[in-house]
Amino acid sequence: MGFPKIVYKFFVLFLTVVSFSSCSSDDKTENENEFVGESGINSSESKDLWLSLKSTNKDSYEYTIETVSWTGFATSTTIKVENGEVASREFTSTQPQEENPAETEIVQEYIETESDLGTHESGADILTIDELYSLCFAEYLTVDTDSNLIYFDTTSEGVINTCGYVNKDCADDCFVGFKLTDFTWL
């Protein structure tokens, strides 16, 4: 004979309510907030790998962040960290030459050392990789996924190299975050 239709409908409604109520934001697991890059390494695994690697390598490394605009304007900032402290920042910005747009010209360049770190306004922020992880987890991986595309990736070793987002309604130069184009242990 089977279930009467009213019992069947009530049962389906009950299951639907139970399944939605079990997914409240209070019940989220840590894994629901994970982002996995093309490397196959998720954000928490990356942080754990980083903590191990920085200890092995005496927390001394160098990384470069580059930006490029659709207009051809580009920047490159290299941060050098020795024993966990930022030791220097090198910056170069370029733009296409007016007479020959295929060639670039240097607009600004500088090298800051420990004694004058932060004396120039332009360039990537003076941050260690630990600070980049904190920024990534607090500011970039937490944005609304309905209105933003989130990006996260690591090197093959597992060190973070991309973290940020792009608003889905933005057309040009919209990435908010950082992209490391080079990372080297010292």
CA atoms within 13 A on the CB side of 73: 5
**Which one has a higher pLDDT value, 27 or 136?**
136
pTM above 0.85, yes or no: no
What local confidence, expressed as pLDDT, does residue 61 receive? 98
Residue 29's pLDDT band (cuts 50, 70, 90): very low
Spatial distance between the Cα atoms of 90 and 55, rounded to a whole number of angstroms: 25
Whether the per-residue pLDDT at 19 is higher than 50: the answer is no
CA distance 48 to 149: 25
| Domain boundaries of the chain, sorted by first residue | 35-185
Answer yes or no: are the C-beta atoms of 164 and 145 closer than 8 Å. no
- Decide which of 175 and 21 is more confident: 175
Give pLDDT, residue 33.
Answer: 66
pLDDT tens-digit series, residues 71-111: 999 999 999 999 999 999 999 999 999 899 889 999 999 99
pLDDT at 22 over 90: no
